[in-house]
Copies of this chain bind each other. A is one copy, B any other.
Amino acid sequence: MGSFLPQNLYEMSNTDKAQLLENLQSQYTAIQSQNLHLDMTRGKPSPEQLDLSLPLLTILDEKHYKSENHTDCRNYGILDGIPEMKKLFGEILDISPHNIFVGGNSSLNLMYDVLVQAMLYGVPGSITPWKNEKEISFLCPVPGYDRHFAILEHLGIKMIPIRLTDEGPDMESVISLVESNPSIKGIFCVPKYSNPTGVTYSDAVVRAFATMKPAAPDFRVFWDNAYVVHDIDFPGDNVLNIFTEAEKHHCTDRFYIFSSTSKISFAGGGVACVATGEKNLEALKKHYSIQTIGYDKLNQLRHALFFKNGEGVLTHMKKHADILRPKKDAVIQTLQEQFSNLGILQWTKPRGGYFVSIETLPGCASEVVKLAHDAGVKLTPAGSTYPYKNDPKDTNIRIAFSYPSVNEIHKAMEIVSLCIAIASLKSMLARA
């Protein structure tokens, strides 16, 4: 595949640009007639990745259904997780099992539950339930994860976008807002291989979260460690342990740290957890003891027996990495071949996680997504990575590379590149 755009793009006359555009548009029409169906929308594991965990399905049998403390996992009992699953998450997160609550299959559901509890009852330190406050806000590093934003919007919590830098959220803005405005009740963070940029927070950023002095007595950081062991290139990025930092500054209750095995074992058939300080944990257990009889301990036991310990998880994740690496490389390679030094596109080069994020020329992202869609390549809707689906400059597109095959990715990225080229040319001509 050759480049769609020449290296001297910015020196071309408008007539030449228009000619080039026409040429690209006829290539586009040819592709449209191929009736392709390629999907790069979803951060979901491929079947090959899921196959890695197939032994989970048969690890329990008529002799193996009791936890190490002799609890019959087939029956009622134990609200906060069997000991071996707490230990396993403890090793994954490097946090004491005592601070861990093991929930159902969805960390998103845990985040939702914690937020609902805060709305209805407040959290330790709250003066009143959040629902009774006149207005409350959350800071949202952008671009970010649409499902976080959807929960906040659904609960009527105002979202304030914060620029995500290469080192994490712009902490100057975060600190200035959090320390001055008591209506700011929290922030959503994905500290490692952030969705969608792949940015990993620097040590300074992590430390700042533990040392800041929030104006709200019940300010909370929702630390979504979704990609904690999801390295693709080795060594992977390293994130400072936020819980250790919080312990140093006696503010462990400022943090809810979420994780799950959804992209380690089975997506949707995994186990989720939240780690937090003693007071939060006590409140959490009180609420959950009303809300549910308890979670599926059999699935916890499956995971504990299959992975054995944190080391077992890391070994397993190397196999995921081997599957994901050529896919991620295919995305980045295409972008490099097509757009290096042209000045019309930026893209991230994460060492792990599930996404590559691109920045188009202003106003081009939704046009690219539409063009790609009409040529048979589904992309995450433009705007999704911003609160209220509002990407003010219309530049960000999330590329999910995990599910399609390498061949499909090559094909899809060629088409996406063509769409970027067309949208960029149109934009340049319109502004000329």
Contacts and interface: CB of A to CB of B under 8 A. Distances in A.
A207 interface: no
Given A104-B104, A105-B296, A269-B74, A57 B65 contact: yes
Contacts of A323: none
A58 B155 CA distance: 41
A296 B298 contact: no
Given A44-B76, A72-B47, A73-B269, A299 B299 contact: yes
Interface stretch (A108-116, A239-247, A408-416, A424-432): A108-116
Given A105-B104, A298-B57, A50 B75 contact: yes
Contacts of A72: 47, 50
Copies of this chain, whole number: 2
Interface stretch (A286-294, A355-363, A368-376, A381-389): A286-294
A72 B150 CA distance: 26
Given A106-B292, A109-B291, A294-B268, A50 B74 contact: yes
A267 B109 CA distance: 21
A295 B44 contact: no
A124 interface: no
Contacts of A295: 105-106, 268
Contact of A267 (B50, B76, B108, B131): B76
Contacts of A268: 73-77, 293-298
A292 B131 contact: no
Contacts of A290: 112, 150-151, 154
Contacts of A74: 50, 53, 266-269
Given A65-B57, A266-B75, A120 B116 contact: yes
A75 B45 contact: yes
A141 to B, nearest CB: 20
A119 B58 CA distance: 42
A31 interface: no
A409 to B, nearest CB: 18
Q: Report which residue of A104, A266, A269, A297 has the largest number of chain B beta carbons within 10 angstroms of its beta carbon.
A: A269
A298 B266 contact: yes
Given A60-B57, A112-B291, A292-B108, A299 B76 contact: no
16 contacts: A50-B74, A50-B75, A51-B62, A53-B74, A54-B62, A54-B65, A57-B61, A74-B267, A75-B267, A77-B268, A108-B292, A116-B120, A120-B131, A262-B293, A267-B293, A269-B299
Given A75-B268, A108-B292, A108-B293, 10 more contacts: A44-B75, A54-B61, A58-B58, A105-B295, A106-B292, A120-B155, A150-B290, A268-B294, A268-B296, A296-B296
